[in-house]
Amino acid sequence: MCGITGIVHFAQDLRQQETLLRKMQAVLVRRGPDQEGIFLSENCAMAHTRLAVIDTERGRQPMERSTGGETYTIVYNGELYNTPELRRQLEHEGVQFQTHCDTEVILQSYANWGPGCVEQLNGIFAFAIWEHHSKRLFLARDRIGVKPLFYAEIPGGLVFGSEIKTLLEHPEVPHEIDSSGIADLLLLGPGRTPGFGVFRTIREVKPAHCGYYMHGAMRLYPYWALHAAKHTESFTETACHVRELVIDAVRRQMVSDVPIGTFLSGGLDSSLLSSLASAELAKHEEKLQTFSVDYRDNDRYFQKSHFQPTSDPTYIRCMERYLGSVHHWTVLDTPALAEALYRAVDARDLPGMADVDSSLLLFCGEIRKEITVALSGECADELFGGYPWYRDPDVRRINGFPWAQSTAYRARFLRPEIAKQIDAQSYVQSAYEKTISSAEKLPGESPLESRMREMMKLNLDWFMQTLLDRKDRMSMYHALEVRVPFCDYRIAEYLYNVPWEYKDWNGYEKGLLRTAMQDVLPPEVLWRKKSPYPKTHNPSYLKAVSEMLSLMLADKNAPILQIVRKEMLEHLLQSDESIQWYGQLMTRPQIMAYMLQLNYWMEKYQVQIV
């Protein structure tokens, strides 16, 4: 993967802005440490940092091609999984390629087919293409939103980039938040309103959107959406179809010119991907490398719960034996986990999922010592309905985001003068209702099927985006490319119309996926009850973040006190109440850590309240 950034301006000669462009490029170097390049012209300047995975020598960017009287320059971050098919199609139409990389395939696709090319792409991507003579910039992002792309309109122009930090290097992008930014941080965070970058002028190209910046205006439009259609296949046919889709997604995403491995938690999703990847490598007489994370003394302090009935190590060892993989363990301890809370903010450019972020950041750093590309099981729960809020009828009926029923509690953190500007319940409810109203349905379908479409749309647009943000930033901080086969858009399209009875086959979470893949896993892993991403259960972590929060509160100039009531932070320290802030993993210790991250973020970026 890579980092991209650029500026378009019609009142300045950007050929004189190389110093600024290189500053913007420099903050993305962790995303792409192998190569870097810049493009300078009067009205457009673009920069790239590259993590070389395919055609490592000839795939340099920015890449330029001329055809049909126009010259095109691209900067691209991502991976294309149908490169061979598109390449053959373009060659049939007379295109001659100079490289084997997917960058040139995307560039030639656009040059030959125009903006409609995005509908032909199967992959994870964010890219920008400048047309030299037309003087317009085309921006596009993949259907599911795996790869990030932010932008900010400035007087006379536009700034864009893979991460918020590169935009903030530009002097005309203010480090300001208003009431909407505060509301996102405290009422929805670590979730984020689709298309919103929290900073006042920063926006994100939404998943499955593309468009042009031209004549001083940005025009973006959706090129893909989930459409409702009648499902006509039997359960057996559906299971076969799912199996084909998942196997094909994994096969396509195994293509790499550098070492590849898998995350392995011992749960269904990562174990399934590991088994399929292992079989693919075995065809070439290669062994799969697998990677797992645990926490010091977790075996001692683990307490089973409704959300986490069993711990992971037993199942990981079972899979290690089953696969015969080259396995690597990372064991994290509290001091490193707490210290990395701030580096996780450096990576995400926003407060995030607390130690759920920082643990992944540390884990990815260890994985990167061994390999460059990894497969991860993200997003199977969103698509196959694996989360408790899909399956619990009482939670399912709740009128609001099912993973964060804490709006009233969250609102108590707002300073009174800010709370007067924000109708907390209305802000959250409006975001929720806008999302469910966009879920396409069939006339006359049952209330259950109708609700399940809403649930899938909520999860794809919100919860999954938070996890994909986390995965991208924490991994790319260490230049580790993480691929997510379950995010293949063909799987999402298909599952949107599969009835809930099939997904929950025999009353078992992800029963459809388990049945479809039952021959590739040992039974004890295949039928293991869902368990979330592993987190520390060591009481030393609560002690550490409590001490850090106490120290923060001792500073009367702590930036967070501009927006958060000090007495609520003190209450957080003293009270034993455990509120679910976001999903299954963020309770009292993580709320403390989130507040620490928020304070650090405001200080690091010198955030101004307007």
C-alpha distances (whole Å) from 556 to each of 43, 294, 560, 594, 610 are 46, 37, 10, 19, 21
Residue 178 burial by CB count (10 A; 0-12/13-18/19+): exposed, middle or buried?
middle
Q: What string of DSSP letters covers 518-552?
A: TTSS-HHHHTPPP--S-----HHHHHHHHHHHHHH
Distance, CA of 308 to CA of 177 (rounded, Å):
37
Among residues 575, 479, 571, 510, which one has the least CA distance to residue 377? 510
Question: Could you identify the residue written with the tokens 């298909």?
Answer: 494
Question: Are the beta carbons of 400 and 432 closer than 8 angstroms?
Answer: yes
List the structure tokens of 22.
């290189």
> How many residues does the structure list for the chain?
610
Among residues 20, 47, 16, which one has the least CA distance to residue 169? 20
H/E run at residue 75: strand 70-80
Q: At what angle do helices 334-348 and 588-604 cross, to 10 degrees?
A: 50
Distance, CA of 391 to CA of 401 (rounded, Å):
15
List the structure tokens of 44.
């457009």
List the structure tokens of 388.
């408790």
Distance, CA of 484 to CA of 374 (rounded, Å):
9
Q: Is 364 a catalytic residue?
A: no
Active-site entry in 2, 44, 117, 210 = 2
Among residues 160, 215, 157, which one has the least CA distance to residue 12? 157
Among residues 116, 203, 211, 105, which one has the least CA distance to residue 159? 203
Question: Could you identify the residue written with the tokens 């062994």?
Answer: 287
Active site amino acids? 2
